[in-house]
Amino acid sequence: MSQSVTSIIIRREYMERVSKKSFIITTILVPVLMLILALLPTAIMLFATGETKTIAVVDDSGIILPSLESNDNVRFIDAWTSQENMLSNDSIYGVLIIERNILKRNSGLKLLTPNASSVSIESEITGQINKIIENEKLKAYDIENLDRILNEVKTSVTLQTLRTDSSGEEGESQSAAISSAIGTMLNFLLYMFLLMYGSLVMNSIIEEKNNRVLEIVVSSINPKSLMIGKIVGVGLVALTQIVIWAVIMFGISTLLLPAIVPAEMMAEAQAINAGSADLASTTMDTDLALALGMFTNIGFVMKIMCLLMLFLIGGYLIYASIFAAIGASVDNIQDASQLQTIGIIPIFIGLFSSLAVIADPNSTFALVMSLIPFTSPMVMMARIPFDVPIWQIAASLILLYLTIVLMIWIAAKIYRIGIFMYGKKPTVRDLIRWARYK
């Protein structure tokens, strides 16, 4: 009887939420937003071109102005009248004053503008003038063929990182930048899910407690089964979203990208990922090739999505248990806000630890934080794109799922007492006392 009622509760919690328009919109909208955010910086750089700014130059040194080069962002002209007249001219963005001893005095530079200046314009001006002054100083050494020598010694190296096995044999290419980006995205995804769906469980329990629905339901089912039914029902909603996103990601990796990316580019990207390409002769950006190779690697995508589901389920069950116990203990959202810190603080610790771990994913701190069950879902998912050893992932999952049993047991003891408590705002000490009751 208890099992059948539990299944009814699970089905009700699940169907009530997946049938809402907000669930459908969120499920479809989030992947689209993530794609837009990924492409937005490139789109801004391509299309957000401002008008060319005209700078009138007063060059008392007589050295800088002849070497200044105009471009799409800024146009340099020789000042033809007084500063006041030029600044009152709507076509003039500003007046650049270069002092006579600019070669010896680095601060002998002023930009006068009637409006707020922009970082890009200031960077363009200082960048060009820095180069001009450096060249003028080098000329003082009277070195023959100086320009040719400087061009010949100018060097830009390309670093290719390859993972090796125990025998030292080279494996696939890696990119710390791409791994960091994927780790950050997975980290924030888990943070969002744990906080959002954990709070959803708590709010649902508070609402039913205020309506006195729980008092009726517990007459036919024990409180522990009721709590588990609500947690599992809401958890299946989160799992459904992840599965839908996994299918979308799988479709992009197997169908969309191979269809829209030229075959030659795909072959070059795969060669770079395999570590067999000569980077000196490649035409693709290395990071772009590695990203393309990762997202079209079915094994890599499936590994990420499967581990994401495992850590999401584990993390959700722990925090949903905490939020369920809090929801059963209070009468309204205002009272819950103080106790919520019990669940929110560990999530924040996991989030900020993950951001630190991405900088050094193999440090002792990273290993410890990825083994602590309350932070391991986010920290380990931030590390997984860096190809973490299997034993560390297994150890993290084992500790995580063992902790789930303990947390559900503690939460159930608090839940069975809290749902019958009205008119008293509990403290953390009260929750500990309720958890110790037999």
Asked whether 241 and 27 are in contact (CB, 8 A), the reply is yes
What are the φ and ψ backbone dihedral angles of 59, each rounded to 5 degrees? -105, 95
- Ranked by mean pLDDT, the top range of 121-130, 175-184, 215-224, 424-433 is 121-130
pLDDT of residue 374: 92
Asked whether 361 and 355 are in contact (CB, 8 A), the reply is no
pLDDT at 334 over 80: no
Q: Give the pLDDT confidence of 194-252 residue by residue, as tens digits.
A: 888 888 888 888 877 777 666 666 666 777 777 888 888 888 888 888 888 878 877 77
Asked whether 230 and 14 are in contact (CB, 8 A), the reply is no
Q: How far apart are CA 414 and CA 430, in angstroms?
A: 9
pLDDT of residue 210: 74
Asked whether 93 and 111 are in contact (CB, 8 A), the reply is no
3-class secondary structure, 22: helix
pLDDT at 48 over 60: no
DSSP 63-93: SSGGG----SSEEEEE--S-HHHHHT-TT--
Per-residue b or e along 144-169, where b marks 16 or more CB atoms closer than 10 Å to that residue's CB: eeeeeeeeeeeeeeeeeeeeeeeeee
Domains contained in the chain, CATH given:
53-143 (3.40.190.10), 175-436 (no CATH)
